[in-house]
Structure 1
Amino acid sequence: MRIASLFLLSFTCTTLLANDAVIDASKYDSLQAAANALPKTGGVLHIPPGNYELTEPLRIHTGDTQITGSGTATHIVNTNTNGRPAILIEHADYADRATPSKERLWRVSVTNLRVTGNEKSGSGIDARYIEEIMIRDVSSSYHGGDGIRLHFCYEDPRLSDNLLTYNKRCGVSLEGCHDIVVSANQFEENQDGLKCVDSFNLTMTGNNLDDHLRDGIVIENTYGSVV
């Protein structure tokens, strides 16, 4: 009987800890409040269907974290006109500056949502010094910056099955990344489709690029690529 009671107590505690790591954004006053509720050890932020207008970036500061919507019915609208991104993923202690290797966040994913901006906004998703980032099934359009920008997301960034359209800069901008997979995305009418600079080992396969205003693919100072 005592063993059974200890097992039940252990199971209950584990369940409570797991529930604390799954955040339902509808239960919070704002998306940022919901993101701030994620434990430092990471978790899942679920954003239900709806239009979410942002005047400041949604800041994600935890590793081992998934930001997930309910398809394009989850629509994040960036109304900022000061060049700020809609979603900003970076270490809170190193905002707007280089993050030391040992302090970098790992394994952040963004999936299954739509994000749009305006001519004066920044990028749709701006990730800085995040290792093993994954962005999948995201529609990112009409931004004043890039659809997706990865800045020194060095280890194994992966972008797949995204729609990147009508952005004033690049559909995807990669800076200082390594062992990159960009697969099965659609790019249309951005300034440039994809730009990859100062990086290593870009694998870009199975994508569709159409009607860009300048260049489809730009690769500079990047070695060992397959396109």
Structure 2
Amino acid sequence: MCSTRRDFLRQSLLILPPIALSASLFPRTAWGAQSSGGTVINVRDKGAKGDGVHDDTSAFQAAVDALPPSGGTVTVPSGNYIIDAMRSINLRSNMLLQLAPDATLTAIPNNSPRSHVIKVWNANNVRITGGRIVGERNEHSGAGGEWGYGINIQSSNHVRVSDMHISDCWGDGIWIGALGPDGHATPSTDVTIDRVVSTDNRRQGLSIGPVDGVVIMNSTFSNSDGTKPMSGIDIEPQAQGLARNITIDHCIISGNHGTGMEIHYNVSNVTIKNCTFRNNQGYGLLTVDSPSNLTITDNVITNNGLVGLVIAGQTTHVKATGNTLTGNSARYARRIANALASPAALANVQKRELRVDAGTSDVSVTSTKFSQ
């Protein structure tokens, strides 16, 4: 992780107890209505028991591997399926993994810094829908590392994840990125996350590395807590490659122990719209290092511990319009009522809602609503 980011956030964030949300959102999905065409294989027919006791990893992999090259569907009926995240369920091209709404993939506790419940690596045309993934953070026997994933998508194309609930991972609920050395990694392209809840993960709800074409919509990323940065969403390709053409639409980013959403360098062409950033202990939405070409529109950023919207570092080419900023910098004592009588007090309140640093360039902030 980039030391610039670590230093920036370390100076800004204090260690405070986590914020509890009143409720979590649970996605809904249709069961039995989808098909990837061709062969359909039920994991029970390959020996999966779904009894919450037996290791079902081999049965899942046997079902995936039994699909023909032309593709097909692996179905997962109701049950609690125990998965060895050190071996993972390795998906292949041209397939749909379809879980019943009450099917759960529960990771076996391990002591490794790195593990994956589901891997989508070097694959094309993959869909994952329904059910739940429960990580092993609460029973993890190791101390270090931050790379235990619910779903890990790397160097893959045309991937869609929908109607899932992911929680309690040692690292990130979802990672979308690239395989390969710095500067030469193969990005993931055309990835969609829709109607997903990623909550109570140790590092992040969602992290994005090198990609080209990602849409995140109608989803919730909440209650990240355990190891820094502890954000809801973190776009962090760093030196590995470029992250570009990303849209975050109609999402809720809430209750995270760090910042709601962070955007770092080697990032361009990001649109964030119609989202709610609330009750995060750090900033609501932060751009730092040198991302470019950002559109931030019609979002509600409220009751975050530090400044609501921060455009920092060498961020360039930003259009922020129609955003509502209210009740941010909640860690600081404030006298909102005085703002009604004093223009100076109002300006001070607004500084706690919005910050644009001097090193930024071509930043336009218009039609911002500072409401009580």
TM class by shorter-chain length?
0.7 to 0.9
Aligned AA for 2:131? Answer: L
1:113 — aligned with what?
A: 131
Structure 1 unaligned regions, length at least 5: 1-17, 91-103
2:107 and 2:90 map into 1 onto residues whose CA distance is 16
2:244 — aligned with what?
A: 200
Q: Tell me, yes or no, if structure 1 residue 209 matches structure 2 residue 265.
A: no
Q: Tell me, yes or no, if structure 1 residue 131 matches structure 2 residue 157.
A: yes
Report the TM-score, using the length of structure 1 for normalisation: 0.81
Q: Tell me, yes or no, if structure 1 residue 70 matches structure 2 residue 79.
A: no
1:57 and 1:140 map into 2 onto residues whose CA distance is 19
| SS of the residue 2:44 aligns to | helix
Per the TM alignment, residue 139 of structure 1 is displaced from its structure 2 partner at its CA by 0.5
1:54 — aligned with what?
A: 83
2:62 and 2:254 map into 1 onto residues whose CA distance is 38
| SS of the residue 2:64 aligns to | helix
Q: State, as a whole percentage, how many aligned pairs show the same letter.
A: 21
2:170 — aligned with what?
A: 144
Larger radius of gyration: 2
Per the TM alignment, residue 61 of structure 1 is displaced from its structure 2 partner at its CA by 4.2
1:61 and 1:211 map into 2 onto residues whose CA distance is 32
Per the TM alignment, residue 201 of structure 1 is displaced from its structure 2 partner at its CA by 1.5
1:195 and 1:109 map into 2 onto residues whose CA distance is 23
Question: CA RMSD of the aligned region, Å?
Answer: 1.6
CA deviations 1:179-220 (Å, max 9, x no partner) are: 210111011101210111230021101001111011111111
Structure 2 unaligned regions, length at least 5: 1-36, 48-58, 141-146, 179-186, 225-229, 238-242, 273-372
| SS of the residue 2:165 aligns to | strand
2:192 and 2:209 map into 1 onto residues whose CA distance is 14
| SS of the residue 2:270 aligns to | coil
Aligned AA for 2:245? Answer: N
In the alignment, is the contact (CA less than 8 A) between 1:41 and 1:62 conserved in 2? no
1:40 and 1:25 map into 2 onto residues whose CA distance is 18
| SS of the residue 1:35 aligns to | helix
Report the TM-score, using the length of structure 2 for normalisation: 0.50
Q: What stretches of structure 1 move > 3 A for 4+ residues in a row? A: none
**Alignment partner of 1:44 out of 58, 73, 77:** 73
2:44 and 2:175 map into 1 onto residues whose CA distance is 27
Bigger relative contact order, structure 1 or 2 (CA pairs below 8 A, ≥6 apart): 1
2:88 and 2:78 map into 1 onto residues whose CA distance is 17
* Aligned residue pair count: 195
2:269 — aligned with what?
A: 224
